[in-house]
Structure 1
Amino acid sequence: MPTTRTRTIAPADRAVALQAQRNLKMARSAHAYVRGNTKQFYEWLQAQAPDSLPAGPAIWICGDCHLGNLGPIGNVHGSVEIQIRDLDQTVIGNPAHDLIRLGLSLAMAARGSDLPGVTTAVMLEQLMEGYCAGLAGESGEPDAPLPAPVHLVMKDALRRSWKHLARDRFDAVVPSVPIGKRFWKLTSDERAAIARLFEKKSVSRLATLIGSRDDDAPVAVLDAAYWMKGCSSLGLQRYAVVLGVGQPDSDDLQYCLIDIKEAVPAAAPAYARPRMPDDHAMRVVEGARHLSPHLGDRMLAAELLGRPVFLRELLPQDLKLEIEQLTRAEATEVAAFLGGIVGKAHARQMDAVTAKAWGSELRKGRSKTLDAPGWLWSSIVDLVASHEAGYLHHCRRYALREAA
C-alpha cells in the first residue's frame, strides 16, 4: 500500500496515502486527535438538546475554533495581528459553538501539559472573561504584554521573510516546489488548469495586493505541486503554486506562495435559513472577511477543474499557535487572551446593543464556585471524556498497526 514515505504518489493513490497520514497525525497526541477529528465534535453538538446551550446572535463563526486555528496573520499593508487563521468550516451560526470548541482545545492542551484539573476550571473561567471583554471592546491595553507562548510566535512572525517561508515549506530558498514527501507531481490536466487560472487578471491580482508590489507587475507561474498538508483537511484537493511577481531576471522580482484549497460543504451546524453564499468557496471567503479581515481581504474564491476552491497567498508572517507545553500561569493567560481574540472577531459583526445582550446572556448560570457558566463547563467535561476514549481507540486501531 502506498504511504507518504514514497518519493512519488500517483494521483490514483492520493486518497489512500492522505488517509493514512491523517490517521497517524491524529495518533500523535490527544490534542492532535481533537484538532483532526472535527466530526466527533459536530456529532456531539447535534446530539445536544435544543435548549442546553445559549442561542447567540446569528453571525459568522469559525466553526472549528481550536488553538492551531489561531495565530499571527499579516495583512496587505504589513501589519500583523493574532486572528483566526482557518475558516474552512465557517458558517452563520451560534457563537457559543466557537467558545466550546476553543475550550475543548485548551482543556486537552492542559492535559497534555500534565496540569491539574483545577487549572482547566480556571482556564475556562479566563476564557469566558477574555471573550466577554473582547465582546465589549475591552480586551487588554494596546501595549499590554502578550502571554509568553503567544509572544514567542509573534516575535518569530515579525522577523520573517520569504527566505524563512521557503525554508519552512520547501527546505530551501529556491522558488520551486520540491517533489517528495509533502509535495507530489501534478497531472497534466492539473498543471494546465492552474496555468489557465492565473491567466485571469482577477486571479493573478491576488499576488499584487501586497502594498510593496506594483499593481501592474507581471505575474508568472514558476512551479506548482499537489500539497499534502493539514490534518482535518487531508483528502481535499490542495495545491502549492509559486509565482514570480515583476519582470523576470530583474532585481525587483519577488516570489510568492499561493495556497489553493478545495472548498467543501461545512460540517459545522449553521442556523436555519442563513444568508450564506451557495458556493462553498465564496462562503469561506465571506466568513474570513467578517472574522479575520487580515486574512479575508487577501483571499479569493474561484473554480479549478470543476470544483470550488479558495486561494490565498501564504505570507511569511502567517503562523499557527503551536503550544505543546503550558505552565499553570501560561495556561490561564493564554485562555484569556485567545478568548479576547474570538470575542473581538464576533463583536465586529454585532451592534453595541446585540453585543451587550449576548454578553449578559453568557454571564448567566454562574455558580458561587465557578465563574464559567454551567453549560460551558459541562460541555467541556463531556467532550474531554468522549475525545479521550476516542483517542485511545484511534491509537489502538492505527498507531499499533504502524508500529507492527
Structure 2
Amino acid sequence: MSPKNLPTQPDQRQEILARRRNHKMAESAHAYVRGSTVKFYEWLEESGGRIPDGPPVWICGDCHVGNLGPVANAKGRIGIQIRDVDQTVIGNPAHDLIRLGLSLATAARGSDLPGVTTALMLEQMIEGYMMTLDGELGGDAVRKKPSVVRVGMREAIGRTWKHLARDRIKDIRPSIPLGKRFWPLTDDERAEVEELFRKDQVRRLVTALHSRDDNDWIELLDAAYWVKGCSSLGRLRIAVLLGVGEGHYDEGGLSLIDIKEAVQAAAPRVSRTGMPRDNAERVVAGAENLSPHLGDRMRPARLLDRAVFLRELLPQDIKLDFDHLTREEATHVAFFLAAVVGKAHARQMDEATRRSWRGELARNRTKSLDAPSWLWSSIVDLIVGHEAAYLEHCRRYAERPDA
C-alpha cells in the first residue's frame, strides 16, 4: 500500500483493519487465541464448569504468554511483568490462570509437543503460581529464568532508541514514515493530539523518564494513526514522536508515545468494588497494581471524545519468543510465567487471603494430575471450542494459495 493510497478518514480505515485482523488471526492457532479475548469468556461461560471464586483483585483479563515479558520502569530498571493490561478488571484470579493455561497449551501444540506436555505444563504452572502465595513473592525458583526469558532480558538490557525506532517505526530519523504500519491523521485528529500535549499531566508523563526536567520544552515532531496489534485493530491508536529539551534530535531527547483507546473490558468484573468507571482510568489503575513498571509510565486522558491512555514506549519493552519450545523448556516457562502472574495477584492480598486462595487451589487434585481438576477440564473444553472456531475462521478468512 503506497502512501498515496492510504486511508485518510476514520470510516475508510475500518474495512481494511477488519480484513487485516481476520487474516492475522488465521496465521496460527496461537494467534487466534491472542485475538479472541471476547470469545474466550463466551466459551468459558458456555462450558458450565465449576471455577472457584478467587479473592477479588486486579487481574490482567487477557493473560496469554505474549502479554508477559520484559518491561522497564521510568528509571530504566527492567523486570518480567504483565505488559498489556487493556482488559484489566477487579475480577477472579482464576480467569488469568485459565487464560494463561490455554495460551500455554496452544503454544505447546504450535511447537509440536505431545499432549502429555500440556498436562505437565499445567502442573508446573500451578506450582509456580502457588509458590508466590506462600508469602515468598519470589524466591530462587522464580529467579532461575528459562532460557527464552534470559535471552529476552539480555536483548532488552542492550537496546537503545535506535532499536526502538527500527522496530516500531522502521526509521531512526525524527519522523514517522507513512505506509503499511502508519496512516495519516485527519486535520482534526492532528489538532486534538497537539492540544493534548499542551496539558500539564501529559507533559509530566513525557518529562518523567530519563531524568528529564519538568520544564523541558516539548515539540511534536510527527504523529500518525498506528496499525498495530491484533485485538486492538480497529480502535483509535496513534503514535506520536516528540522532541524533548535542547538538542532533542539526539537519542536521549526523542520520545515515542503510544496513544491507545480504552474500551469496555471483556473480562467479568466483581460487582461493588472501587474500580474506576472510566475505561482509561481503569486500565491505568490496573497497571499500577499488576505491573508497577508499566503503570509508572502511563496516564489516562480524553481524545476525540474517547477514553485513551498514553505511555512512552521504551526500547526494553519487547515480546518474548515462545514459538519453538522443547518439552523441558515448556514446563520451565509455564512455572516461571505463572509465578510472574502469581506475584502480580499476591501483592494485592494480605496473608490470610493468600493462604485461603492457596488452599482453594490445592483442592480438587487427582492422582493422575497434580493440578486442580477445574483448571484441566476448563482448558480441555476451551481447546475443543477454540479449535473448531479457529478452523472455521481459517475457512472464511485465510488466503487460499490460488487467491
TM-score, normalized by length of structure 2? 0.96
Residue identity opposite 2:39 in structure 1: Q
Cα-to-partner distance string for 1:255-284 (whole Å, 9 max, x where unaligned):
010000001111111112232111100000
The aligned counterpart of 1:381 is 380
> Does the 8 A contact of 2:194 with 2:220 survive in 1?
yes
**Once the 2 structures are TM-superposed, how far is the Cα of residue 400 of structure 1 from its aligned partner?**
3.8
**Change beyond 3 A, Cα 1:4–1:23:** farther
SS of the residue corresponding to residue 243 of structure 2 reads strand
CA deviations on 1:141-180 (whole Å, 9 max, x unpaired) are 2894310111111111110010000011122211211100
Deviation at 1:90, TM superposition (A): 0.4
240-249 or 186-195: which moved more?
A: 240-249
- C-alpha contact 2:133 2:342 (8 A) present in aligned 1: yes
Question: Which residue identity does 1:288 align to in structure 2?
Answer: A
State how far apart, in whole Å, the 2-side matches of 1:323 and 1:285 are. 27
Give the aligned partner of residue 345 of structure 2.
346
Aligned partners of 2:210 and 2:252 also within 8 Å: no
Supply the AA of the counterpart residue of 2:224. Answer: A
Q: State the secondary structure of the residue aligned to 1:199.
A: coil
Greater shift, 350-359 or 265-274, is seen at 265-274
* Deviation of the 1:5 alpha carbon: 9.8
| Superposed displacement of residue 211, structure 1 | 4.1
Cα RMSD after superposing both structures: 1.8
Q: Given the alignment of the two structures, is residue 121 of structure 1 paired with residue 119 of structure 2, yes or no?
A: yes
- Kindly report which structure 2 residues correspond to 1:69-80, keeping only aligned pairs within 5 A, or say none: 69-80=67-78
Report the counterpart of residue 181 of structure 1 in structure 2.
Answer: 180
Alpha carbons of structure 1 residues 376 and 174: separation in structure 2 relative to 1, 3 Å: same
What SS does structure 2 have at the residue aligned with 1:284?
A: helix
Mapped partners of 1:184, 1:304: distance in 2: 18
State the AA in 2 paired with 1:187: T
Aligned pair count reads 401
Map 1:352-391 to 2 at 5 A.
352-391=351-390
8 Å CA contact 1:134, 1:339 repeated in 2 = no
Quick one: structure 1 residues 42 and 143, their matched pair in 2 at CA, closer, same or farther if it must change by over 3 Å? closer
**1:5–1:71 Cα change, 3 Å:** farther
The farther-off stretch of 366-375 and 202-211 is 202-211
Q: Which amino acid aligns with 1:377?
A: W
- Say whether 1:112 aligns with 2:120: no
Bigger Cα displacement from structure 2, 82-91 vs 269-278: 269-278
Equivalent runs, 1:316-355 vs 2, <5 Å: 316-355=315-354
The 3-state SS of whatever aligns with 1:311 is strand
Counterpart in 2 of 1:202?
Answer: 201
**How many Å apart are 1:10 and its aligned residue?**
2.7
**What is the one-letter code of the residue matched to 1:347?**
A
1:133 aligns with 131
Gaps of 5+ in 2: none
Question: Which segments of structure 1 move beyond 3 Å, counting only runs of 4 or more?
Answer: 3-7, 137-140, 142-145, 248-253, 400-403
**Helix, strand or coil at the partner of 2:140:** coil
* Alignment-mate amino acid for residue 235 of structure 1: G
For 2:249 and 2:173, the matched residues in 1 are separated by: 16
- One-letter code of the match for 2:390? Y
Aligned partner of 1:309 in structure 2 is 308
2:63 corresponds in structure 1 to 65
Q: Which residue matches 1:147?
A: 146
Per-residue Cα deviation, 1:183-215 (whole angstroms, up to 9, x for no partner): 000000000000000011211111111143222
TM-score (norm. length: structure 1): 0.95
Q: Which moved more, 1:36-45 or 1:248-257?
A: 248-257
- Which stretch has the larger CA shift, 320-329 or 131-140? 131-140
Secondary structure (helix, strand or coil) at the match of 2:95 reads: helix
